[in-house]
Structure 1
Amino acid sequence: MSKDRLCEIDENYDFFQRKLKGLLQRHKGQFALLRHKRIIGYYTGPGDAYRAGLAKFPDQIFSIQEVEDRPAEIGLVSVALD
């Protein structure tokens, strides 16, 4: 994974964690597509979010986070999506 992509994931994760409390009421269980510390959209599954990210960002510089108040299984998701 490129350094740019890793940096994007880290920055988006920090941004997402700061916004999570406000997102839970309306988007719990959905998957947020993020780029440059902005939420681009919400999707019902990680595959939907990933396909939307690829369609919108051919450089693959984006990340996906589940709107959930429990710790994410990042390793499992990253393996499934790579």
Structure 2
Amino acid sequence: MKNKQLLFGLAFALGLFFVAGFSIDSHGFHSGLFGLIGCGLLVAAYLGLFWPQIKNGDHHARRLTWLLAGLLILIVVLDIAEAVLA
């Protein structure tokens, strides 16, 4: 196994662990800094692992990349809205 694959696998695992910090309850959406870092790690790990497919123009990989990036942006916007409205 290449060191690069191991590094991106570790980033993915840490991202999943950090994303577990999100919670949605009756008072709204709550995310901390670790949740945002976790989302960033997930997107970075996906990009790192599937970069050759994305670079070669694989439609599925590009669409999934945009979906993940869009979800990350949505989470950041919700987190900012919660901080402003609180």
What TM-score comes out, normalization by structure 1 length?
0.35
Greater RCO (Cα-Cα under 8 Å, separation 6 or more): 1
Q: Which structure has the larger Rg? A: 2
Q: More helix per residue: 1 or 2? A: 2
What TM-score comes out, normalization by structure 2 length?
0.34
Q: More strand per residue: 1 or 2? A: 1
